A and B are shown apart, each in its own frame.
Chain A
Amino acid sequence: MSWETVIGLEIHAQLATRSKIFSGASTAFGAEPNTQVSVVDLGLPGALPVVNGEAVRMAVAFALATGAEIGLHSAFARKNYFYPDLPKGYQISQMSYPIVGSGEIEVPLGDGRTKRVGLTRAHLEEDAGKSVHDAWPGATGIDLNRAGTPLLEIVSEPDMRSASEAVAYARHVHALVRWIGICDGNMQEGSFRCDANVSVRERGSNTLGTRTEIKNLNSFRFLERAVDFEVERQIDLLESGGAVVQETRLYDPERDETRAMRSKEEANDYRYFPDPDLPPLRIDESFVASVRERLPELPAVRRARLIEAHGLTDEEATALTRERAFAEYVETMLETPGVSGRAAANWVLGELFAQLNREGTAIGNAPLGPARLAALVARVEDGTVSNRTAKDVFETLWNDPSSSADDVIEREGLRQISDGSELEGMIDEVLAAHPAQVADYRAGKEKLLGFFVGQLMKASGGKANPGELNRLLRERLGRG
């Protein structure tokens, strides 16, 4: 039996608003329990929800960034169920009229191919609070700081056919929501959570098998492992004559397996109905236009420009458009005359990233900004300094934010020697000093080139232009 895997993802992205979706309490992470709750978030009698416009704008931004339909008329609905971290006994969500309708997302699979994944819809809803299970014997503690944080639930069509496709899709959406500034994507803090709907079917079949839902996967690695495990589990089950039960499961990273959740929402009869506390949400074209204006240029557009206008490779452009801050850094560098795309890409992906990783600094906080780095790269490209020397200058520039490339080069006399006659003079001196090696080289020991290069580097204090030096050296050695 040949099996096909069918995966759909529901991603819950916490929207990066300052205040909650229905109340004015803060959404900041990490506060002491229940210090960021209002009477609305507590669900106290008489407290009413009022919608945060920024959450709506962020949802519309997502639609614009993916080309999905915008629900100009959308509505909030109540999803009713009992759970201690759900204060009102219902979650305000959207049911029949979501703010974002259908669309399609092109997902780069990492090997040059892309996969088209359908977007079913995306809607606004509120997050629930948190339960802490192990701190009190026989009791669970409820913290409602998170209750009311805005979520955008992004629902895909069941178009993915492997765990790696699912991960690629999730990563792509992750990068996108960060790029357009609607979500910080911090998975450890729970800002970006995936639920995977997994089923299997006979290859060639058109009907969907029974699916299970794996909830709250908060890392790409867990997503991949959970889906792989679940697929195998379902196949084993079906091959041994059993049936897949439609249920909700959790992934246990310690055991690397999924297990059925104890019925959180047992009967699953949510009794959705339009929330009477919130009239219908109607947005018009001018609202959409104002969101569009504030939308940053999308990654695909910048990627194309980096490749076509600045000559970067596919790989380089993809790496540099993974985050908006990277692309902005590089493009700012490219405003400096004399800096080529490939060189800028090289320096950012190489030295800059290495330094940032060493220090655990984000690119936005780098003490060496794009203009100063570009000035250095321009000096490499015009031959003023060698690449090697430039790396030292990079260090200096990094540690002394007031310094400029030209200052450092001047101050430390780092100009490389590129003048042909000067170099020839030095070469002649060194060759004259080592006649035996010259003879050996001319006799066939080509490795001795390195010896001469080393001598010349020493003699020039490391400032000989390597390219020029090599060329002239070979010329000189070639004679005679």
Chain B
Amino acid sequence: MSAALHEMTLAMQARALAGGACSAVELAEHHLARVERLNGTLNALLAVGADEALAAARDADARLAGKGEAPGPLTGVPIVHKDIFCTSALPTTCGSRMLDGYVSPFEATVVKRLREAGTVLLGKANMDEFAMGSSNENSFFGPVANPWDTSCVPGGSSGGSAAAVAARLVPAATGTDTGGSIRQPAAFCGLTGLKPTYGRVSRHGMIAFASSLDQGGPLARTAEDCAHLLRAMAGFDPHDATSSTREVPDYAAHLELPLAGLRIGVPREFFAEGLDTTVGDAVHAALGELERGGATLVDVSLPHQRHGIAAYYIVAPAEASSNLSRFDGVRFGYRCDDPADMEDLYERSRTEGFGPEVKRRILIGTYALSAGYYDAYYRKAMQVRRLISDDFARAFTEVDVIAGPTTPTPAFAHGAMDDPIAMYLNDLYTVSASLCGLPAMSLPCGFAGALPVGLQLIGQPFDEGRLLGVAHRLQASSDWHERVPEAFERASDTERQGEERARS
């Protein structure tokens, strides 16, 4: 094998493990070594658990050798979890001082399911604090660099997950998406990332930002990889009252989707002002590719699309303002020193524990829900939300999937978006699917200069299989998803030598 272990996608690694070409321990050691060497530049990972990882890898190897439970397509594959998923051994910080050092007494369902599927957890990925951000510049633990250009952001809030996968520190990671936080980093980092239908993946143990919008999902390099991950992550969970009882299809088994007859809606509102030309061009090219493959492009309209950002930036902060009230220094998490009284304990713990963006959003949300303003802001936003949802429902009577750019621009430089509004406008195309609970994904479809561009696909409820199938077809006839950031391209000499030695 000439390819270094990290050059393989998750599916390739799974095949290699199954075929005995490598072991889970080898994979784990290889990736841990990469993390050790490269994480410093990226700051993608906050915690690394080498001992636990190797123990899990040994267990995986035993399973692969036929002992114990039968192995699956994820057994032995190394991953990282966004630091928003509660894990038992490693701390869960949510990118915040408020949870610095917090070890959750319970494990997220997503973590449990991926663990039981045999994945090997290497560490926890950096993120925008409490998932609030589009650049991973809001983490208490420092910003994350985009492997394609380390002076640029990887996107957010799942920036650490995206950077880790793009730099091949791991083949796949979990992320969460509330207004675009899986899709936008996927687009900025040349990855394939999917936000499932609301209720598809359990939120138990996934620290809440905006409860009616949050969904956990996979970030990987191919649709096939995402299919395997989603299958393991998804499914009804009695611990989550918003979780769907709908059966989980074997997504990976149905990736071969004929494009003939597929109607792809292209909303004109996704190509209006604000869209960077190079991004627009790459997206159009990808759409052309789909057309050549047999799909029909249909012009559709989502008349309320432009109100998505406004509605989102009321609904999400409102829910967040309530969800974050539990961070009060009483039972867990950060507590200020020597509180004089209860009020002091609350105020100083929360002021010192939360970063500026979190405070901004808590205040907006509090205001939007407050007496006298509830109707004008919160209720109004909820009504617009329904209008946006109706727009999509109408469009889906004419088309099967909706496509467009994931982001208006490629990755921007650190510090470039110092105006919060400019930052919020990054989410222009992604918030709508979140507000409506629809499944949506981003896959690489080209480049704007040296930076990746993402194509967004939005589907009907629980139609993830179709989205993955379309993405898979595109990936079968293009290689955007195979590009490697130059700085992380070639396996280092040490890595090659190590592997050659292992093989001899």
Contacts and interface: CB of A to CB of B under 8 A. Distances in A.
A touches B (Cβ under 8 A):
yes
Interface of A: 39, 42-51, 78, 80, 82, 84, 87-90, 140, 142, 144, 269, 271, 273, 276-279
Interface in B199-218: 203-208, 210-212
Contacts of A90: 322, 325
Contact of A48 (B92, B94, B104, B239): B239
Given A89-B326, A277-B211, A50 B104 contact: no
A430 B327 CA distance: 93
B328 A279 contact: no
Contacts of B390: none
Interface stretch (B59-67, B158-166, B370-378): B370-378
B318 A45 contact: no
B319 interface: yes
Given A45-B94, A46-B208, A271-B321, 15 more contacts: A39-B105, A42-B331, A44-B105, A44-B106, A45-B86, A45-B92, A46-B106, A80-B322, A82-B325, A82-B328, A87-B326, A144-B331, A273-B318, A273-B378, A276-B242
Nearest to A43: B326
Interface string B237-249: 0111110000000
Nearest to A267: B371
A48 B331 contact: no
A45 B325 contact: no
Nearest to B326: A43
Contact of A45 (B207, B241, B322, B342): B207
Contacts of A82: 325, 328, 346
Contacts of A279: 241-242
A224 to B, nearest CB: 33
Contacts of B366: 271
B436 to A, nearest CB: 14
B370 A277 contact: no
Interface in B372-392: 374, 378
B438 interface: no
Determine chain A's interface SS by DSSP, over half rule.
loop
Given A39-B105, A271-B374, A276 B326 contact: no
Determine chain B's interface SS by DSSP, over half rule.
loop
Contacts, number: 100
Contact of A80 (B240, B241, B325): B325
B108 interface: yes
B205 A46 contact: yes
A48 B369 contact: no
Contacts of A276: 210-212, 242, 319
B104 A273 contact: no
B65 to A, nearest CB: 35
Nearest to B203: A48
Contacts of B203: 46, 48
8 contacts: A44-B104, A45-B92, A46-B108, A47-B106, A84-B328, A87-B330, A87-B331, A279-B241
B342 A84 contact: yes
Contacts of A140: 342
Interface in B442-474: none
A46 B204 contact: yes
A271 B370 contact: yes
A276 B326 CA distance: 16
User: Which of B108, B206, B326, B370 is packed against the most chain A CB atoms within 10 Å?
Assistant: B326
Contacts of A142: 330-331
A279 B92 CA distance: 28
B99 interface: yes
Interface in B59-118: 85-86, 92, 94, 99, 102, 104-106, 108
A283 B332 CA distance: 37
- Closest A-B pairs by Cβ, 4 of them: A89-B325, A276-B212, A276-B211, A271-B369
B378 A88 contact: no
B150 to A, nearest CB: 31
User: Which of A48, A50, A88, A90 is packed against the most chain B CB atoms within 10 Å?
Assistant: A48
A51 B241 CA distance: 8
Given A89-B325, A89-B326, A271-B374, A43 B207 contact: no
A42 B330 CA distance: 10
A44 B332 contact: yes
A46 B206 contact: yes
A51 B92 CA distance: 27
A45 B208 contact: yes
A39 B207 CA distance: 13
Interface string B176-214: 000000000000000000000000000111111011100
A43 B106 CA distance: 12
User: Which of A39, A78, A88, A89 is packed against the most chain B CB atoms within 10 Å?
Assistant: A89
Given A39-B106, A48-B240, A80 B204 contact: no
Nearest to B105: A39
B281 to A, nearest CB: 39
Contacts of B369: 80, 271, 273
Contacts of B99: 45
Contacts of B206: 46
Contacts of B240: 48, 50
